[in-house]
Amino acid sequence: MAAYLAGEASAFDELFRRYALPLLRALRRRLDAEDAHDIVQQTFLQLHRCRFDYQPGAGLRPWIYTIAFNLQRRQARRWHFEDAFLEEEAATGGGAITWPVDGAAIQSVRSAVAQLPREQRRVIALHWFEGLPFDQVATTVGASLSAVKVRAHRGYVALRKIFERDDADG
Amino acid sequence: MADAGVPPPPRLTPVDELEKLLTGTHERIKADRGVLAWLRCRPTGQRFGLVLLALAGLMALTLWRFQRPDFVTYPAPRMALTFSVYLVALALSIRELVRPLYTARGRTELFIVLTAALPLLVAALPAAARFEDAPTIGHGHDCIPVGMLAGFLLMLIVRAFDRAPRVGTGPALLLGNTAGLFGNLVLMLHCPIDRPAHLLVTHALLGVALSALFKVLEPVRATPVR
């Protein structure tokens, strides 16, 4: 982003290639191609408009996700982007973690995460699946660092209980 | 059957799809030019400051050309207090309205309540003691058009600086109420009628009228940038 601000036009293309694909995949889970393309392009148009707000060193991923969340909300979609994002991450194994497990295990994780309350689900999607540090998760969801840590802790405790229950059920 | 020999269009690979999207994004950025685009690309602090500056200009114009006839004799502490409270609420709401999209959701609902409640609260206060006969004073009859015009100008100014392509229900309500609050502020400088009934029925309802007006006009403005 600093290179783009310095006038290096190709830096924008690099940003786009880095961040657009996971966004597009998540959007395509709930939208037709045209609408998904529209939101991806709107997100990067907004990123261009916001460029002079950027502080060097700040994480760009939270910016992009939050812009997409807000565009989706303003366009009054009846679904929640973070859910689609979570599904995409769980299904493809994208993001920061690798998945040394088979499809059934991924499905089981997805199903367990889906049982969590929305706020916990969102924090876990960003922290665990996407690998954002807690301070960037806090920026993205608009909560304090301690609130985000509490939500994540409660979410992981709840997940453990769900897995233990599932194991006990056989 | 006529199409049987026609091969289906080639399916785009994710990489091709991404490159096509990138080209489309470049086209959008290229089309995003002109004065409005320049305003929307200003840093958020500047956009906020410029909106406030424009509103200060409108208030100065009201004081200069459309001042209420009893302005000099109106109880100054009451005017100053009401004006200050309105100004703070206005600044907070405008800050929320021009909030950049990369920040998480703000306190839209709180500001909707604040901007709706303040004019009602002020209207419910007893009239300033010396002016209970105020309806007979000067040009009170034109307060609704003046308040509506002031509010409408605020909506135009804020939308000129707002980067978002569409306004959701919450921000639309906040915009209408904030415009109504600004209309009330301008009317404090313009309208000499100080009776609670007048304030409740006309001034305090500006926010409702302006929200409805915005609802009618917004779909025209909100065509996505393609």
Q: List chain B residues with CB under 8 Å of A44.
A: 25
Q: Would you say residue A141 has pLDDT above 80?
A: no
Query: What residues of B are in contact with residue A13 (Cβ under 8 Å)?
Result: 22
Task: Say which residue the tokens 């100008």 belong to.
Answer: B153
| Pairwise CB contact (< 8 Å): B25 & A41 | yes
The rounded distance, in Å, linking the Cα atoms of B99 and B45 is: 10
Please list, residue by residue across B113-142, b when 16 or more beta carbons sit within 10 angstroms of its beta carbon and e when fewer do. ebbbebbeebbeeebbeebeebeeeeebee
Mutate to test the interface with B, among A47, A74, A82, A122 (most CBs of B within 10 A): A74
Q: Is B157 helix (H, G, I), strand (E, B) or coil?
A: helix
Higher pLDDT, B55 or A56: B55
3-state secondary structure at position A61: helix
> What predicted TM-score, i.e. pTM, was given to this entire model?
0.73
| Mean pLDDT, residues B99-110 | 83
The residue ranking higher by pLDDT, A74 or B203, is B203
Please give the pLDDT value at position B51: 96
Q: Is A133 or B22 the better-scoring residue by pLDDT?
A: B22
pLDDT(B117) > 70: yes
Tokens 């229950």 label which residue?
A165
Indicate the residue type of B214.
Answer: F
- Mean confidence (pLDDT) of chain B: 84
| Cα nearest neighbour of B222 on chain A | A75
Contact yes or no for A45 and B102 at CB 8 A = no
Q: What is the pLDDT of residues B120-179, one digit of tens each?
A: 998 888 776 555 555 544 445 678 899 999 999 999 999 999 988 777 788 899 999 999
Q: Contacts of residue A69 in chain B, CB cutoff 8 Å?
A: 104
Query: Quick one: pLDDT band at residue A37, thresholds 50, 70, 90?
Result: confident
Tell if the CB–CB gap between B22 and A20 is shorter than 8 Å: yes
Q: Which residue of B has its CA nearest to A142?
A: B104
For residues A120 and B122, what is the distance between their CA atoms, to the nearest angstrom?
A: 42
Query: For residue range A59-96, what is the model confidence (pLDDT) as tens digits?
Result: 788 788 888 878 877 665 545 565 666 666 655 555 44
Q: In this complex, do B102 and A62 lie within 8 Å of one another by their Cβ atoms?
A: yes
Least confident interval from A95-104, B62-71, B209-218: A95-104
Share of chain A above pLDDT 70, in %: 78
Nearest chain A residue (CA) to B24: A41
CA dist., res. B129 & res. B140, Å (int): 18
- Which residues lie below 8 Å from residue A81, measured CB to CB, with a gap of 6+? A26, A27, A68, A69, A72
What does the pLDDT look like over B45-84, one tens digit per residue?
999 999 999 999 999 999 998 888 888 888 889 889 999 9
Per DSSP, the residues of A90-102 read HHH--SS----S-
DSSP secondary structure string, A107-128? HHHHHHHHTS-HHHHHHHIIII
Residue A1, pLDDT > 60, answer: yes
For tokens 């009170």, what's the residue? B140
What is the distance of C-alpha B110 from the center of its chain? Answer: 16
Residue B225 has pLDDT above 50, yes or no: no
Q: Any CB–CB contact under 8 A between B43 and chain A?
A: yes
Residue B95 has pLDDT above 90, yes or no: yes
- Say if the ipTM goes beyond 0.85: no
Euclidean distance between CA atoms A122 and A120, whole angstroms: 5
Most A CBs within 10 Å, among B12, B50, B102, B218, to test the A interface? B102
